[in-house]
Amino acid sequence: MATTHTSTSKSSSSRKSASSKSRSTARKTTSSARQKDAVQLLKADHRAVEKLFSQFEKASGEQRKMQLARKICMELKVHSQLEEELVYPTSREFLKDDEIVNEALIEHQAAKDLIEQIQGMDASDEMFEAKVTVLQEQIEHHVQEEEKEYFPQLQKSDMDLKAIGQQIAMRKKELMAQMQGDGLEMH
């Protein structure tokens, strides 16, 4: 890797003019600086789902609740699939702690079971709200564990979180499109 770094150019002829207000070169926002890494993207998903759950809590009317529950289920399915495809397996290679990934997978499975039940229900079902509330509690617990224990371990590891972030962003678009398509076919 030969880095030609020999341009020790002495300050260009234009010395800084005291009155110059422009600092044109001060901020460079390269696309790589804007690109979010895996942890940032996953946390953003967590916040989005929390927001949907709190909208569900405040919502009134079966139709609105149904709509929000569907959205919550879809977001959670996409998010867990992204973690299961792109994050959890890779992290096994970098972290010594397999148990943390095993527990996360069990929690995902429990959430999936509940999600399936909710998706097969009508908002008029007397168990509907209770199921969504229990899903919320389970997800809150899972998110806590990921953000307090798991993600910090990833950040300390040698995992290339930027590269995984790029994969997550691409795969998420595919999965969202796919699930929205499925949803349309069902009705």
- The residues of the shown chain that bind Fe ion, judged by CB under 5 A, are 83, 146
Query: Within 10 A of 124 (CB to CB), how many other CB atoms are there?
Result: 9
Nearer residue to Fe ion within complex by CB, 37 or 146: 146
Shortest spacing between CB 68 and Fe ion, in angstroms: 19
Query: Which of 177, 157, 178, 175 lies closest to 167, judged by CA?
Result: 175
Nearer residue to Fe ion within complex by CB, 87 or 123: 87
Nearer residue to Fe ion within complex by CB, 111 or 123: 111
Nearer residue to Fe ion within complex by CB, 64 or 112: 112
Shortest spacing between CB 178 and Fe ion, in angstroms: 19
Query: Tokens 């289920």 label which residue?
Result: 73
Instruction: Supply φ then ψ for residue 22, to 5 degrees.
Output: -80, 135
Query: Tokens 């989005």 label which residue?
Result: 48
Report the distance separating Cα 63 and Cα 182, nearest Å: 20
Is there a contact between 111 and 138 (Cβ–Cβ < 8 Å)?
yes
Query: Which of 147, 156, 175, 148 lies closest to 86, judged by CA?
Result: 175
Query: Which of 147, 161, 150, 153 lies closest to 46, judged by CA?
Result: 147
Shortest spacing between CB 104 and Fe ion, in angstroms: 5
Shortest spacing between CB 90 and Fe ion, in angstroms: 14
Shortest spacing between CB 100 and Fe ion, in angstroms: 11
How are the residues of the chain apportioned to helix, strand and coil, as percentages rounded to the nearest 5? 70, 0, 30
Nearer residue to Fe ion within complex by CB, 76 or 123: 76
Shortest spacing between CB 149 and Fe ion, in angstroms: 12
Nearer residue to Fe ion within complex by CB, 56 or 91: 91
